[in-house]
């Protein structure tokens, strides 16, 4: 269930910011206790950069709106309906080896809070492909020089500028902070850098942050965005400022209670991270400029699970090497929709299967995972008596009546990604003598195919009248005609599919006629004694061997 903590806006407005209790460091979404950030003094660098800020052609992109906003889809002449149209390539760059620098701005940044731990552990875990198959969704988006690639953590470190932001922060101020940082830290490859400017609680923004100045603002327009000056950067406000009775930026969006307090931090930060990879020079990379519904980038099209336009896109917890984080899906052109992972599990079909009651089965199912690693298997719709091991081996002995089954096998990898295959499985009882009480065989009396001929008990001789065939629909035939109930006695008659001709075999050897639930019974072991139907009791006179 999607939830968020409701805090009355009036109460927040009445309490001075300095007295607001900051969340504790502990969070169930990821490991706690990250090291403190590196302290940097960017005041001089910021002032020098301010006159030379060069925001991109589109000043801000990848805007994450508050989830309470509602927009309508829009059908294009091409036939697709926005926002579910693939973003085309605009000719600009993508990031080939992303590096994320987390820059905390302001002296009051709570570096012992769960928000800090959430961001630190999120960025440290992204790019570690032994667990992260979410980032690798971006690898399909190429430019003329190649595609994004991941060989380890994208995290380049966390830094804390203890100088206070301006009273009303503009996009230019954020660009100057990022430019000053990049110059001070001598970032070697700014094209592949992402400077995430995370401003302290209570920061005011001139351009419409939903929780500007620590009070929920229902007229606010965004939770975060990204842009470019001399390097790509992200504006990531302190998102808990937005949590009030009327606005939210994702608290408890995926997880309830304390486990979801920082859901918004990972969802919004992940959104901007992925879009900066695929469109770092805003609106020149992979972006659908015809999409006026969502914004057109690969995170925009899947924002808040599509809730803004009544969609149902994937979202949920992503398990990284550094913890578990609430994340949204990303648009995949190759999949034609929003996906949580580039990983795919493919299960090979074994084809249709046919087995015989009482005869052992051994069938190994094979599957592959794009991320590698071990797979675990489950199955549904197996014939009774069969089971599947965690390694995908189906084994056992079919123990029920002849029938047709629809079996589905699902393989799941260590990332929680699964794939399935379905195939038909028929079980038959085979053809041959059915041995019962006194080691005598069910017999078509005198091997005649006349309607009404009785079925009796006789010394087994291998003759044609003792060769019974069990069909998938439950019929039992001898010489082309079916065993039928006739007033409690068993006769041979032309097959017509009636329930008086359909039998179910129980695992204890009983043959039960379907229309009244009585069992095939041997009154006497004397040759020529006609078989009858009687209430099932599990006795030896009602137990039959398999053909």
Residues 6 or more apart in contact with residue 73 via CB below 8 angstroms = 81, 82, 83, 84, 293, 309, 310
* Residue boundaries of the structural domains of the chain: 27-339, 345-428, 431-542
What pTM value is reported for the model? 0.66
57 vs 54, 86, 283, 462, CA distance in Å?
Answer: 9, 22, 7, 89
User: Rounded to an integer, what is the distance from CA 121 to the centroid of its chain?
Assistant: 22
Over the stretch 141-158, which tens digit does the pLDDT of each residue have?
999 999 999 999 999 999
Closest of 445, 444, 448 to residue 476, by C-alpha: 444
Could you tell me which CATH class the domain 431-542 is placed in?
mainly beta
3-state secondary structure of 180: helix
Longest C-alpha distance within the chain, in Å? 111
Can you point out the beta strands (E) in 445-528? Answer: 455-459, 468-470, 476-478, 481-486, 489-493, 503-505, 511-513, 519-521
Q: Give the Cα-Cα-Cα angle 153, 158, 163 (nearest 5 degrees).
A: 160
Phi, psi of 75 (to 5 degrees): -85, 130
Tokens (6 digits) for 143 = 């430019």
Please give the Cα distance from 280 to 204 (Å, whole number).
25
Cross-strand partners of 309 = none
Architecture in CATH of 345-428:
Sandwich (2.60)
Are 205 and 169 a contacting pair, CB within 8 Å? Answer: yes
For residue 96, how many C-alpha atoms fall within 13 Å in the half-sphere facing its CB?
10
Rg over alpha carbons for the chain, rounded to the nearest Å, is 35
Task: Return the H-helix or E-strand segment holding 395.
Answer: strand 393-396
CB 457, CB 437: distance < 8 Å:
yes
Segment (H or E) for 173: helix 171-184
What is d(CA 410, CA 421) in angstroms, rounded to the nearest whole number? 7
Angle at 498 between CA 474 and CA 386, to 5 degrees: 20
178 DSSP assignment? H
User: How does pLDDT run along the chain (547 residues), one tens digit per residue?
Assistant: 333 333 223 322 333 333 333 344 434 444 447 999 999 999 999 999 999 998 866 688 999 999 877 788 888 877 899 999 999 999 999 999 999 999 999 999 999 999 999 999 999 999 998 889 999 999 999 999 999 999 999 999 999 999 999 999 999 999 999 999 999 999 999 999 999 999 999 999 999 999 988 787 777 899 999 999 999 999 999 999 999 867 899 999 999 999 999 999 999 999 999 999 999 998 899 999 999 999 999 999 999 999 999 999 999 999 999 999 999 999 999 889 999 988 888 999 999 999 887 788 999 999 987 766 689 999 999 998 899 999 999 999 887 666 789 999 999 887 677 899 999 998 877 667 778 788 888 888 776 778 888 899 989 888 888 888 777 677 888 888 888 999 999 988 899 888 888 887 777 788 888 889 999 999 999 999 999 999 999 899 988 876 6
Which pair of structure tokens corresponds to residue 118?
């959430």
Q: Are strands 315-320 and 386-388 parallel, antiparallel or unpaired?
A: unpaired
With contact defined as beta carbons under 8 Å apart, do 329 and 305 qualify? yes
* 273 three-state secondary structure: helix
């Amino acid at each position: 269930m999607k939830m968020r903590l409701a805090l009355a806006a009036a109460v927040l407005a009445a309490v001075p910011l300095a007295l607001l209790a900051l969340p504790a460091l502990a969070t169930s979404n990821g490991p706690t206790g990250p090291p403190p950030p590196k302290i940097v003094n960017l005041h001089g660098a910021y002032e020098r950069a301010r006159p030379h800020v060069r925001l991109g052609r589109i000043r801000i992109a990848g805007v994450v709106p508050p989830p309470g906003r509602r927009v309508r889809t829009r059908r294009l002449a091409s036939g697709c309906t926005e926002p579910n149209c693939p973003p085309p390539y605009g000719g600009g760059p993508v990031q080939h080896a992303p590096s994320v620098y987390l820059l905390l701005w302001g002296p009051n940044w709570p570096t012992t809070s769960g928000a800090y731990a959430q961001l630190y552990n999120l960025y440290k875990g992204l790019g570690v492909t032994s667990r992260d198959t979410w980032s690798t969704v971006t690898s399909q988006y190429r430019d003329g020089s190649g595609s994004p690639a991941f060989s380890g953590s994208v995290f380049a470190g966390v830094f804390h500028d203890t100088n206070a932001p301006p009273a009303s922060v503009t996009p230019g101020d954020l660009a100057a902070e990022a430019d000053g940082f990049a110059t001070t830290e001598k970032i070697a490859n700014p094209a592949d850098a992402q400077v995430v400017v995370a401003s302290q609680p209570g920061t005011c923004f001139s351009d419409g942050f939903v929780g500007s100045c620590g009070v929920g603002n229902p007229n606010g327009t965004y939770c975060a965005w990204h842009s470019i000056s001399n390097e790509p950067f992200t504006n990531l406000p302190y998102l808990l400022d937005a949590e009030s009775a009327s606005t939210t930026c994702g608290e408890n969006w995926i997880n309830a209670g304390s486990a979801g307090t920082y859901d918004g931090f990972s969802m919004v930060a992940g959104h901007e991270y992925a879009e900066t990879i695929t469109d770092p020079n805003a609106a020149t990379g992979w972006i659908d400029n015809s999409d006026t519904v969502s914004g057109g980038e690969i995170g925009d099209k899947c924002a808040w699970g599509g809730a803004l336009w009544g969609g149902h896109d994937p979202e949920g917890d992503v398990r990284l090497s550094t913890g578990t984080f609430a994340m949204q899906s990303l648009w995949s052109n190759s999949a034609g929709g929003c996906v949580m992972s580039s990983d795919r599990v493919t299960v090979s079909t074994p084809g249709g299967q046919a087995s015989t009651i009482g005869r052992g089965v051994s069938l190994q199912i094979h599957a592959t995972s794009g991320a590698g690693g071990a797979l675990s298997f489950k199955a549904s719709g197996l014939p009774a008596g069969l089971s599947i091991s965690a390694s995908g081996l189906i084994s056992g002995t079919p123990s029920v009546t002849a029938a047709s089954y629809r079996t589905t096998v699902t393989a799941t990898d260590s990332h929680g990604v699964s794939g399935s295959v379905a195939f038909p499985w028929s079980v038959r009882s085979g053809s041959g003598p059915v041995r019962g009480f006194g080691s005598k065989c069910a017999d078509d009396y005198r091997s005649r195919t006349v309607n009404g001929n009785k079925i009796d008990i006789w010394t087994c001789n291998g003759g044609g009248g003792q060769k019974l065939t069990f069909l998938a629909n439950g019929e039992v035939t001898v010489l082309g005609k079916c065993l039928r109930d006739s007033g409690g006695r068993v006769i041979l008659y032309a097959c017509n599919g009636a329930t008086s001709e359909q039998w179910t075999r129980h695992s204890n050897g009983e043959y039960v006629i379907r229309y009244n639930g009585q069992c095939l019974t041997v009154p006497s072991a004397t040759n020529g004694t006609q078989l009858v139907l009687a209430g099932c009791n599990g006795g030896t006179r009602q137990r039959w061997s398999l053909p």
